[in-house]
C-alpha cells in the first residue's frame, strides 16, 4: 500500500505542467538566495530595476517541474533561465529546461524539465528579471519628495513585500513557510545610500558604469520572502545610543526631516532591550535600521533589520507635534519591534494564522509602552481601546474568525483588519490574565525557542502554553489552553452573557449566546456558538476588582453546545448589593443583568462612592448598557439612567467608552429633526467635564491630554459656546501672524480641535489659509492633522472642491493619505452626502486611481456606509453595488460589512430611535 501511495505521489508530482492550486508544491525547499538588483532612478519618466537571482533548492520529493512565484510585471527571459545540479565537490552541471509557462491566476512561473530532480539533492536555479517601477506602493517601488533647500524632487526606492509582493520584485517562493537565507547585493549610483536587512560588508565600483557602486550585505538569518527589504535613497541618519542591547540602531529619513527622528531613535533601543528581557531571548541580528518613507501604504513594516515606516508614524517634532502624536510614534515602534520575535524569529505557517504575528505585536506593544512610558497608562487604555473596537466590529454577521481558511492571494489583504490586530490582542490579554504572568512568560519563551527560525501555527502556541500552565498549576490537568482558546479563534463573534439573580435562593444563573448588533432579527433566538468564558465577579459589599483570575468557567460540552451555569452567591452578597462580572474587562464579551441588578449598579454610580467600581468596569457598564439598548435587549430608560452618572466622572476611560458608542448615535441622529434634542442632552453631559479639564485653556501641567482633546472635540462639535469661541480666537491669532508657517500661536495639544472648529465656523478664506499651511508644513503630524481638519468645512462648494483635490493625481495629497482625507469629509456635518455621491458618480475614476487596490477602495465604501440610515440611501447603496461588477473584485467581506453596517443603522433608526427620543424628551426639562 505504501509503495502504491508513493507511486501515485510521484505521478502527481511529475505531472504539474498545468498546476492549479493556491499553494506552492512541497517538492522543493529553497535554502538560500543570491539576489542582485540594479536600481535605475535617473529616468524620472520611467524608473526601473533589473537583476538576477540564484536560488539553492533542496529536493524533498522527486519532481520534473519547478513552480515558484513571479508576478506578471516581472519580465523574465526564459533563454537566460538556467538550472544546475550542484555536485558534492562544488562543481555544477546544467539541466535542460524543456518549456516554461506562466500562471497569472496564482503568479506562478513553472519550469518543465527534461529530467527528474532527485530527492535529497541540491540544485541551483538562476534567473534574470527586469521591471519598471509602477505607481503603487507594493513590491519594489519608487517614491519621491521635494528637497526644501533646492526645491528639486528627489527619488528613492523601497520594498513592501507583505503579504505577497516579493514576487513582484524577484522570482521567489513567496510563502511564509519557505524560509531561506539571503545574500543581497544592490547596484546603484554612488550618490545614493543602499540599505537592506543586514549590515554592509563592502562596497566597490561597478565595472562599466561610471559613478555606480555595488553594495554587498551580510547573509541574513533564515526568513520568509515577505521580510526581505532593501532601499536605495539619499537619506541622512541618526545613530542611537546603546539601549542595553548589542544591536546597533540607526534611523534614516530625508535630510530636512532627520531632526524629527530623535525621539524614535531614543525610544526604540529601550523598547528592544525590554523585549529581550521579557522574552529572555536576545535580538539575533547585529543591527536595526528604521527608515521613514514619504510614500508608504502601511503604517509600518517589521522587515527584519530594516523596519520601514510612514513618515507620520516615525516623526515627532517637540515644537509642533502633540503629546498624542508622541504616544502614537512610541506605540507603532513598540509594535514593530515586538514583531522581531513574533513574526520574524517565529513565523506563522500560513496567512490564516497572521494573528500570531499581529495580535501578539499589538498586545506586547502595550506591555512595552507601560514599562517605559507609564505616564500614558498605555496598558489599560490601549486594552480598553482594543476591546471597544472588537465589541463594535465583531458584532456583525459579516465578521470572521481570527483564524480562518485563506485560499487565494486576494484574501491575504483581508486578514489585515481589526479582527487580526485588535481581537488577537484582546484574547491574548485574556489568556495572559487567566494563566498568570509567570506561566505566560515561561510559555512564550518555550514557544519562541522551540520554533526559532522556523514556522508555527496556533496549536504550537497552545501546546507551549498548556505545558507551562500545567507545570505552574495555572490550569487543571484536564483542561488545555487549546480547548479554551479555539472557541475564541475558530469562530466569529463573541458572547452576550446573561445574568439572572435569584435573590431569595441566593443563586446566580449565567448563560451565553452570540451578541449581534442586529439584536433579535434574523432568527437569532437560538445561538449555535459557544465559548469557554472565564468568569470573574465581585459584589458591592466586597468590591474586589483586582482578583481578575476566573472564579468559574462558562463551558461548552463535547458537542460544542453551551452549558448554562448556576453558582451560589457568597453569604455577603445581600440582595441590596450589586453584582458585576468580567473584572477589568478581562475577556471580550457583553453582560446583561436582570433589572434589579441594573438598578443597584445605577444607584451606586449615581452616588458619591461610584469610584468603588473599577474604572475599566465603569467603562464596561456604559458600553454594555448602550449597546444592549441599541439592539433592543435593554430599554433606553435604563441605559440613560446609567450614563447620567458620567456628569460626575473625571476619568478618561469611561468617557472614551461612552463617546465611542454615542458617536454611532450622533452619525444617524444628526440627519433627523431630533438632533437638537440630542445636542442638548450631550451638552448637559459634557459641560462639567469640559470645565473640570480646563476647557480650551492651556495648562503647563495639563491633565490627561487625550482626555482633554476628546472632550474638547465633542464640545466644539456640539457647539458648546465657550469651546467654539475660544477655538475661533486661537485661529484668528494664527491668521494675522506675520509668518504663519514659522509662528503658530495655537497650542500644540489643541490644534486638532481648533483647526476643525474654526473651519466649521469659517469661510472660504479660512479654508484656503489652512490649505496653504498644508503645502508649506514640514512636520508630518501637522500635515496629517491639517488634512483631517480641511474636511470640517460646512461650505458645500469648498468640500466638493476638496473631494476632487483628494483624488487628483497632480494634487500634493499623497495616495497614502486619501482615506484619511476622505474620511474627514464623510464625518463632517455636510460631507456624508457629498462623499457618497462622489464615490458613486466617480467609481470608474476611483478604481483607476487605486490601481486595482480594491482593499483601500472598499475601505472608502465602508467609511461612507457607516452614515447610511435611511431606506432611500440604503436602496441606493444596494442598487449601486448590484450594478457594478467590479465589486466582485473588491474585498468581498468589506462589501458585505458595508451592507451590514448600513442595514443595522437602518434597523436602529426605525426601531430604537423613536424610543430614545421619547426618553430624551421626557428628560429634556432637566437639561440646562
Q: Is the pLDDT of residue 437 over 80?
A: yes
Q: Is the pLDDT of residue 9 over 50?
A: no
The pLDDT tens digits for 660-673 are 999 999 999 999 99
| pLDDT of the residue at 853 | 62
Beta-bridged to residue 84, according to DSSP, are 94, 124
Q: What's the whole-number mean pLDDT along residues 805-830?
A: 92
Annotated binding-site residue? 782: no
The pLDDT tens digits for 120-154 are 999 999 999 999 998 889 999 999 999 888 889 99
Mean pLDDT for all residues in the chain: 92
Domains in the chain and their CATH numbers?
Answer: 21-228 (2.60.40.1730), 235-492 (1.10.390.10), 495-516+530-621 (2.60.40.1910), 803-927 (1.25.50.20)
CA distance 789 to 821: 9
| pLDDT of the residue at 75 | 96
Q: Is the pLDDT of residue 78 over 60?
A: yes
Q: Is the pLDDT of residue 851 over 70?
A: no
| pLDDT of the residue at 847 | 78
List the one residue out of 784, 774, 858 whose CA is nearest residue 821: 784
Annotated binding-site residue? 519: no
Q: Is the pLDDT of residue 889 over 70?
A: no
| pLDDT of the residue at 411 | 76
| pLDDT of the residue at 890 | 55
Q: What's the whole-number mean pLDDT along residues 252-263?
A: 96
Annotated binding-site residue? 809: no
User: Would you state the cell numbers that stand for residue 837, as one nine-digit string?
Assistant: 455621491
- Per the model's pLDDT, the better-predicted residue between 79 and 756 turns out to be 756
| pLDDT of the residue at 499 | 97
CA distance 840 to 845: 10
The pLDDT tens digits for 591-643 are 999 999 999 999 999 999 999 999 999 999 999 999 999 999 999 999 999 99
Q: Is the pLDDT of residue 16 over 70?
A: no
pLDDT band at 821 (very low <50, low <70, confident <90, very high): very high
Q: What's the whole-number mean pLDDT along residues 406-430?
A: 89
The secondary structure of 637-655 as a DSSP string is HHHHHHHGGGGG---HHHH
Distances (CA, A) of 82 to 54, 166, 178: 9, 21, 21
Q: Which residues of 628-643 are buried (b: 16+ CB within 10 A; e: fewer)?
A: bbbbbbbbbebbbbbb
Q: What's the whole-number mean pLDDT along residues 184-201?
A: 97
> Please, what is the angle between helix 831-841 and helix 818-827, to 10°?
130
Q: What's the whole-number mean pLDDT along residues 632-655?
A: 96
| pLDDT of the residue at 15 | 44
| pLDDT of the residue at 560 | 86
Q: What's the whole-number mean pLDDT along residues 763-767?
A: 97
Q: Express the helix, strand and coil content of the chain in percent, nearest 5 each.
A: 45, 20, 35
Q: Is the pLDDT of residue 700 over 60?
A: no
Burial class (CB in 10 A: 0-12, 13-18, 19+), 743: exposed
Annotated binding-site residue? 162: yes
Q: What's the whole-number mean pLDDT along residues 89-95?
A: 89
> Looking at residue 815, what DSSP letter applies?
G
Identified catalytic residue from 323, 336, 381, 382: 336
Q: Is the pLDDT of residue 747 over 60?
A: yes
CA distance 1 to 109: 34
pLDDT band at 393 (very low <50, low <70, confident <90, very high): very high
Q: Is the pLDDT of residue 855 over 80?
A: no
Secondary structure of 555-573 in HEC code, one letter for each residue? EECCCCCEECEEEECCCCC
List the one residue out of 50, 234, 237 whose CA is nearest residue 145: 234
| pLDDT of the residue at 1 | 44
Q: What's the whole-number mean pLDDT along residues 172-186?
A: 98
Question: Do 164 and 412 form a contact (C-beta atoms < 8 A)?
Answer: yes
Q: What's the whole-number mean pLDDT along residues 739-765?
A: 96
Known catalytic residue: 477? no
Q: Is the pLDDT of residue 525 over 70?
A: no
Question: Do 323 and 750 form a contact (C-beta atoms < 8 A)?
Answer: no
Annotated binding-site residue? 358: yes
Instruction: Report residue 187: phi and psi, to 5°.
Output: -105, 130
Question: Do 774 and 790 form a contact (C-beta atoms < 8 A)?
Answer: yes
Q: What's the whole-number mean pLDDT along residues 256-269?
A: 96
Percent of the chain with pLDDT over 90: 81
Identify the helix (H) or strand (E) that includes residue 146. Answer: strand 139-146
Instruction: Report residue 34: phi and psi, to 5°.
Output: -105, 110
| pLDDT of the residue at 2 | 41
Q: Is the pLDDT of residue 3 over 80?
A: no
List the one residue out of 581, 578, 612 whose CA is nearest residue 595: 578
Q: Is the pLDDT of residue 410 over 80?
A: no
Annotated binding-site residue? 302: yes
Neighbouring C-alpha atoms within 13 Å toward the C-beta of 229: 26
Q: Is the pLDDT of residue 6 over 70?
A: no
The pLDDT tens digits for 563-601 are 999 998 775 667 789 999 999 999 999 999 999 999 999
Question: Do 248 and 285 form a contact (C-beta atoms < 8 A)?
Answer: no
Amino acid at each position: 500500500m505504501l509503495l502504491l501511495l508513493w507511486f501515485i505521489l510521484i505521478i502527481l508530482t511529475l505531472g504539474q505542467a498545468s498546476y492549479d492550486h493556491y499553494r506552492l508544491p512541497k517538492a522543493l525547499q529553497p535554502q538560500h538566495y543570491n539576489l542582485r538588483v540594479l536600481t535605475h532612478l535617473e529616468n524620472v519618466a520611467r524608473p526601473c530595476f533589473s537583476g538576477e537571482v540564484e536560488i539553492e533548492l533542496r529536493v524533498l520529493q522527486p519532481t520534473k517541474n519547478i513552480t515558484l512565484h513571479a508576478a506578471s510585471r516581472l519580465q523574465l527571459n526564459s533563454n537566460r533561465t538556467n538550472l544546475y545540479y550542484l555536485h558534492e565537490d562544488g562543481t555544477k552541471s546544467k539541466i535542460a529546461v524543456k518549456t516554461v509557462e506562466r500562471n497569472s491566476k496564482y503568479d506562478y512561473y513553472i519550469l518543465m524539465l527534461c529530467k527528474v530532480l532527485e530527492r535529497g539533492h541540491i540544485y541551483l536555479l538562476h534567473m534574470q528579471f527586469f521591471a519598471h517601477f509602477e505607481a503603487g506602493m507594493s513590491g519594489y517601488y519608487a517614491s519621491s519628495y521635494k528637497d526644501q533647500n533646492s526645491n528639486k524632487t528627489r527619488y528613492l526606492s523601497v520594498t513592501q513585500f507583505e503579504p505577497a509582493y516579493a514576487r513582484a520584485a524577484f522570482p521567489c517562493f513567496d510563502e511564509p513557510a519557505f524560509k531561506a537565507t539571503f545574500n543581497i547585493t544592490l547596484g546603484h549610483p554612488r550618490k545614493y545610500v543602499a540599505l537592506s536587512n543586514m549590515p554592509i560588508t563592502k562596497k566597490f565600483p561597478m565595472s562599466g558604469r561610471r559613478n555606480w557602486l555595488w553594495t554587498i550585505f551580510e547573509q541574513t538569518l533564515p526568513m520568509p520572502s515577505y521580510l526581505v527589504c532593501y532601499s536605495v535613497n539619499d537619506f541622512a541618519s541618526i545613530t542611537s545610543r546603546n539601549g542595553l542591547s548589542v544591536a546597533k540602531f540607526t534611523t534614516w529619513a530625508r535630510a530636512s526631516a532627520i531632526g524629527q527622528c530623535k525621539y524614535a531613535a531614543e525610544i526604540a533601543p529601550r523598547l528592544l532591550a525590554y523585549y529581550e528581557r521579557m522574552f529572555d531571548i536576545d535580538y539575533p541580528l547585529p543591527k536595526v535600521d528604521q527608515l521613514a518613507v514619504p510614500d508608504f501604504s502601511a503604517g509600518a513594516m517589521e522587515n527584519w533589520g530594516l523596519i520601514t515606516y510612514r513618515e507620520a508614524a516615525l516623526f515627532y517634532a517637540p515644537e509642533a507635534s502633540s503629546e498624542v502624536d508622541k504616544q502614537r510614534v512610541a506605540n507603532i515602534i513598540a509594535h514593530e519591534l515586538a514583531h522581531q520575535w513574533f513574526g520574524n524569529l517565529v513565523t506563522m505557517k500560513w496567512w490564516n494564522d497572521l494573528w500570531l504575528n499581529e495580535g501578539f505585536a499589538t498586545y506586547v506593544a502595550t506591555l512595552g509602552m507601560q514599562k517605559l512610558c507609564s505616564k500614558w497608562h498605555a496598558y489599560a487604555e490601549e486594552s480598553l481601546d482594543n476591546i471597544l473596537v472588537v465589541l463594535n466590529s465583531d458584532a456583525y454577521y459579516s465578521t470572521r474568525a481570527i483564524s480562518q481558511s485563506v485560499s487565494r492571494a486576494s484574501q491575504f489583504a483581508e486578514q489585515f483588519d481589526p479582527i487580526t490586530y485588535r481581537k488577537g490582542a484582546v484574547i491574548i490579554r485574556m489568556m495572559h490574565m487567566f494563566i498568570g504572568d509567570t506561566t505566560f512568560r515561561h510559555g512564550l519563551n518555550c514557544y519562541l525557542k522551540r520554533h526559532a527560525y522556523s514556522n508555527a501555527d496556533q496549536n504550537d502556541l497552545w501546546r507551549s502554553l498548556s505545558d507551562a500552565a500545567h507545570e505552574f498549576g495555572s490550569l487543571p490537568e484536564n483542561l488545555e489552553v487549546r480547548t479554551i482558546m479555539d472557541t475564541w479563534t475558530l469562530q466569529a463573534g463573541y458572547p452576550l452573557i446573561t445574568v439572572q439573580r435569584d435573590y431569595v435562593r441566593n443563586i446566580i444563573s449565567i448563560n451565553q449566546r452570540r451578541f449581534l448588533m442586529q439584536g433579535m432579527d434574523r432568527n437569532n433566538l437560538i445561538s449555535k456558538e459557544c465559548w469557554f468564558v472565564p468568569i470573574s465577579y465581585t459584589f458591592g459589599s466586597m468590591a474586589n476588582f483586582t482578583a481578575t483570575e476566573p472564579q468559574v468557567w462558562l463551558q461548552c460540552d463535547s458537542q460544542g453546545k453551551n452549558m448554562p451555569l448556576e453558582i451560589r452567591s457568597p453569604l455577603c452578597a445581600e440582595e441590596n448589593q450589586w453584582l458585576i462580572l468580567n473584572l477589568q474587562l478581562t475577556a471580550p464579551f457583553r453582560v446583561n443583568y436582570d433589572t434589579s441588578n441594573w438598578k443597584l449598579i445605577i444607584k451606586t454610580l449615581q452616588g458619591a462612592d461610584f469610584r468603588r467600581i473599577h474604572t475599566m468596569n465603569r467603562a464596561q457598564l456604559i458600553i454594555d448598557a448602550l449597546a444592549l439598548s441599541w439592539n433592543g435587549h435593554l430599554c433606553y430608560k435604563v441605559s440613560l439612567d446609567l450614563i447620567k452618572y458620567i456628569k460626575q466622572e473625571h476619568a478618561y476611560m469611561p468617557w472614551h467608552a461612552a463617546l465611542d458608542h454615542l458617536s454611532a448615535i450622533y452619525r444617524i441622529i444628526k440627519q433627523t429633526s431630533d438632533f437638537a434634542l440630542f445636542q442638548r442632552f450631550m451638552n448637559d453631559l459634557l459641560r462639567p467635564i469640559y470645565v473640570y479639564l480646563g476647557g480650551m485653556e492651556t495648562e503647563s501641567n495639563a491633565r490627561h491630554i487625550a482626555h482633554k482633546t476628546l472632550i474638547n472635540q465633542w464640545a466644539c462639535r456640539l457647539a458648546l459656546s465657550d469651546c467654539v469661541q475660544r477655538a475661533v480666537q486661537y485661529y484668528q491669532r494664527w491668521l494675522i501672524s506675520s509668518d504663519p508657517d514659522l509662528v503658530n500661536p495655537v497650542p500644540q495639544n489643541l490644534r486638532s480641535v481648533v483647526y476643525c472648529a474654526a473651519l466649521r465656523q469659517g469661510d472660504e478664506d479660512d479654508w484656503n489659509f489652512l490649505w496653504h499651511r498644508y503645502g508649506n508644513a514640514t512636520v508630518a503630524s501637522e500635515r496629517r492633522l491639517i488634512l483631517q481638519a480641511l474636511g470640517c468645512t460646512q461650505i458645500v462648494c469648498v468640500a466638493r472642491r476638496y473631494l476632487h483635490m483628494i483624488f487628483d493625481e497632480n494634487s500634493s495629497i499623497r495616495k497614502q493619505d486619501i482615506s484619511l482625507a476622505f474620511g474627514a469629509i464623510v464625518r463632517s456635518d455636510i460631507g456624508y452626502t457629498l462623499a457618497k455621491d462622489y464615490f458613486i458618480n466617480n467609481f470608474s475614476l476611483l478604481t483607476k486611481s487605486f490601481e486595482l487596490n480594491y482593499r483601500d477602495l472598499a475601505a472608502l465604501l465602508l467609511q461612507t456606509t457607516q452614515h447610511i440610515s435611511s431606506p432611500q440611501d440604503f436602496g441606493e447603496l444596494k442598487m449601486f453595488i448590484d450594478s457594478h461588477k467590479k465589486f466582485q473584485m473588491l474585498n468581498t467581506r468589506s462589501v458585505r460589512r458595508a451592507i451590514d453596517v448600513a442595514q443595522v443603522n437602518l434597523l436602529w433608526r426605525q426601531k430604537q430611535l423613536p424610543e430614545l427620543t421619547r426618553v430624551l424628551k421626557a428628560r429634556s426639562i432637566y437639561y440646562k
